[in-house]
Amino acid sequence: MEKEKSGFFAKLKSGLNKTRINLLDGLDSVFHGFSEIDDDFYEELEEVLVMADIGVKTSGEIIEEIKTLVKVEHIKSPEDCRSYLIDLLSKRLQIPDDGYEFLNEKSIIFVIGVNGVGKTTTIGKLAYNFKTDGKKVMIAAADTFRAAASEQLESWAKRVDVHMISSTEGTDPASVIYDALYSAKAKDVDVLLCDTAGRLHNKKNLMEELKKMNRIIDREYNGIHRENFLVLDASTGQNALNQVKEFSEVCDITGIILTKMDGTAKGGIAIAIWQELGIPVKYIGVGEGIEDLQKFDSKSFVSAIFDKD
């Protein structure tokens, strides 16, 4: 157990390596590059935060907090601001880790998001995670729009060895969900993972289609635990906030899955979303391997970002 944990930590750390290096390098050059705390110093600091996609608003707030701290704590040198800043950032990332109760009961996981964020791959990895935990998993391939989406999912289903319900391209995705719900009931599965077609959040008709699927799940499988995950590409900029807001109109988003965290300097968007919208990150994808999707643990996340090797 201990070993596994450290293994994951190492993986998370290497996955987030770039995030850490960029942020730390940036911060360090700021802390060392200035001999006194002045407006230029604050501006540079803000730049580092904004460059991490933390967002103009949240970055501005953090800078204000630092300014207050500098006054109250009589901080004299830029170097001394460092630990305070790390503290502030850590605090803002403290996402409670009680969001995984669904793992202890029968549940349906509805996975939504814009095109190309990695929904299908994420579903494959989630299926693997749950299956490894000894759960009976089923997948509903409700992306009936994108060419070869169900073939892509099928290959994951085979790899993980779980049952998949699908239909031909162009059928009403709601009917796939419907079939899957009945099949899931009959087969008494523990987790039903629903893949949906990627869609831009400003497409009204496509969002209505999602609402329909959402209603069907509520109606046909009343009382089952629902999780609605929005998958976000970690390299997404401030538009991610729009995405979260718009998809929230479809259903209550219970968690964010941040994908492609291995190649990007954008840990920041997680902070912005949690800060501005109060929706926690539940899983992050830190690599291409099947086991590279992990529960989001804010403590490891923060230390992975800030720990110096």
Which H or E run includes 182? Answer: helix 173-187
List binders of another protein among 218-247 (CB under 8 A).
233, 235-240, 242-243
**Min CB(16)–another protein separation in Å:** 13
Binding flag, residue 167, another protein (CB under 8 A)? no
| Cα(73)–Cα(80) distance, integer angstroms | 10
Binding flag, residue 265, another protein (CB under 8 A)? yes
> Could you give phi then psi for residue 249, rounded to 5 degrees?
-70, -25
Neighbours of 206 (CB within 10 A): 15
**Min CB(43)–another protein separation in Å:** 9
**Min CB(67)–another protein separation in Å:** 17
Per CB under 8 A, the list member of 4, 74, 188, 205 interacting with another protein is: 205
Binding flag, residue 146, another protein (CB under 8 A)? yes
Rounded alpha-carbon distances, angstroms, from residue 150 to 71, 145, 183? 58, 9, 18
Please compute, for residue 53, the number of CA atoms within 13 A of its CA located in the half-sphere on the CB side: 21
| Cα(255)–Cα(226) distance, integer angstroms | 11
By beta-carbon proximity to another protein, the closer residue of 236 and 294 is 236
Binding flag, residue 260, another protein (CB under 8 A)? yes
Binding flag, residue 266, another protein (CB under 8 A)? yes
**Min CB(36)–another protein separation in Å:** 21
**Min CB(278)–another protein separation in Å:** 17
Per CB under 8 A, the list member of 24, 53, 257, 279 interacting with another protein is: 53
Per CB under 8 A, the list member of 18, 163, 226, 295 interacting with another protein is: 18
Query: Long-range contacts of range 92-98, CB-CB < 8 Å, 24 or more positions apart?
Result: 92/58, 92/62, 92/271, 92/274, 92/275, 93/270, 93/271, 93/274, 93/298, 93/301, 93/302, 94/298, 95/274, 95/280, 95/281, 95/296, 95/298, 96/280, 97/295, 97/297, 97/298
Per CB under 8 A, the list member of 79, 133, 151, 252 interacting with another protein is: 151
By beta-carbon proximity to another protein, the closer residue of 33 and 133 is 33
| Cα(104)–Cα(107) distance, integer angstroms | 9
Binding flag, residue 15, another protein (CB under 8 A)? no
Handedness of CA 265, 269, 275, 276 (dihedral sign): positive
Per CB under 8 A, the list member of 61, 80, 169, 179 interacting with another protein is: 169
By beta-carbon proximity to another protein, the closer residue of 20 and 201 is 201
Binding flag, residue 147, another protein (CB under 8 A)? yes
Binding site residues, another protein, CB under 8 A = 18, 47, 50-53, 56, 114-118, 145-149, 151-152, 154-156, 169, 200-205, 233, 235-240, 242-243, 260, 262-266, 269
